[in-house]
Amino acid sequence: MVSNIPLTIFTPIWLNKNDEIITLVKDVKNFTSYVFFSRAMLIAFFTISIVNLTLWKKIPPLAYLSNIIIIIGSVIYFLLWAPLMGVHDYYYVALLILFPGILLPFIWHIKINHPAIFSSFRLKFLLGLFLAINFFYCLSVIKLKTSARKGYYPMVWNSDFVESMKYTNYEVDANWNRFVRMKPYIRQIGVKKDDLIISLPDGSFNKSLYLVGQKGWTDYTKLRTQNDIKNLINHGAKYLFISDTELLKADYLAPFLTEKAGSFEGVEIFRLSKNQGI
């Protein structure tokens, strides 16, 4: 997780503290390096990129130079955005240019300098195997990224990645999906689409707000006092959503739990008014 990173055009790796760099390396090793390609494929791409560097007389100069520029550019991109990357795999989409950038010059070299190999059944078989392995690997990763809560995934094999995704899917289904399911219910109890809500203890920017389809505030700004809640009421908050029953025992929330509006799968809903709190 990134902490105390100022908003700038770039967020370079040197903004990370030592423990954050250790976490980043662990996240890349056990998560993001498995999202797009298997470890075997990554090793194969790395080997081909090294081979490409030895082909400076056998591939067009522009292709050779492009291969180097793409690799260097990818390294610079990673260094300039490293604190934001970690488990956030969408930041790696820009790096996918690496793979055609590495493969195309190598394929051109085989086609021009080794036409017999390029047209051989053996190469076609290897290409078919390459596509099949990547297809079934991708299928496993998609399942792990969306719905899998149990099962064995030998093509992925990294237990840290597999178990973390199973737990995440369980957490999404047990906690977050209920916010989607409760949309019709909150209309029944009188929550209007334009009503502002406070959703606790959601520590994200707006995850529960987005899922339930309401505007308002989460616990991202660390709401810890009656004044914090009262201030949001003064800014238009109409309802308080509590998705962790332990929070119902919090002293600072007690004055705002007097007008219960409803309950849905463990999410307790309370009406807010300006005469509550301090």
SS3 263: strand
Summarised one tens digit per residue, pLDDT across range 230-277 is: 999 999 999 999 999 899 999 999 999 999 999 999 999 999 998 886
Q: Which pLDDT does position 255 carry in this prediction?
A: 94
Q: Which pLDDT does position 83 carry in this prediction?
A: 84
Q: DSSP class of residue 77? A: H
Q: Are strands 237-242 and 260-264 parallel, antiparallel or unpaired?
A: unpaired
Mean pLDDT of 200-222: 93
Summarised one tens digit per residue, pLDDT across range 155-179 is: 898 888 999 999 989 888 888 999 9
SS3 277: coil
Q: Which pLDDT does position 18 carry in this prediction?
A: 84
Q: Which pLDDT does position 111 carry in this prediction?
A: 92
Summarised one tens digit per residue, pLDDT across range 113-122 is: 999 999 999 9
Q: Which pLDDT does position 4 carry in this prediction?
A: 47
Q: Is 39 exposed, middle or buried (0-12, 13-18, 19+ CB in 10 A)?
A: middle
Q: Which pLDDT does position 207 carry in this prediction?
A: 92
In which band, very low, low, confident or very high, does the pLDDT at 8 lie, cut at 50, 70 and 90? low
Positions of E strands within 219-277: 237-242, 260-264, 267-271
State the pTM of this model.
Answer: 0.71
Beta-bridge partner residues of 271: 239
Mean pLDDT of 109-133: 92
pLDDT at 195 over 90: yes
Positions of E strands within 55-139: none
Q: What are phi and psi of 261, to 5 degrees?
A: -100, -25
Q: Which pLDDT does position 1 carry in this prediction?
A: 38
SS3 217: strand
Q: Which pLDDT does position 278 carry in this prediction?
A: 66
What is the signed CA dihedral for 146, 152, 158, 161, rounded to 10 degrees?
Answer: 30
Average pLDDT, the chain: 90
Answer left, alpha or beta for residue 5, where phi above 0 means left and psi between -120 and 50 means alpha.
beta
Summarised one tens digit per residue, pLDDT across range 35-55 is: 989 988 999 999 999 999 899
**Closest C-alpha among 36, 58, 45, 47 to residue 98:** 45
Summarised one tens digit per residue, pLDDT across range 52-107 is: 989 988 888 888 888 889 989 999 999 998 888 888 888 999 899 999 989 999 99
Report the alpha-carbon distance of residue 168 to residue 174 in Å, rounded.
10
Q: Which pLDDT does position 228 carry in this prediction?
A: 94
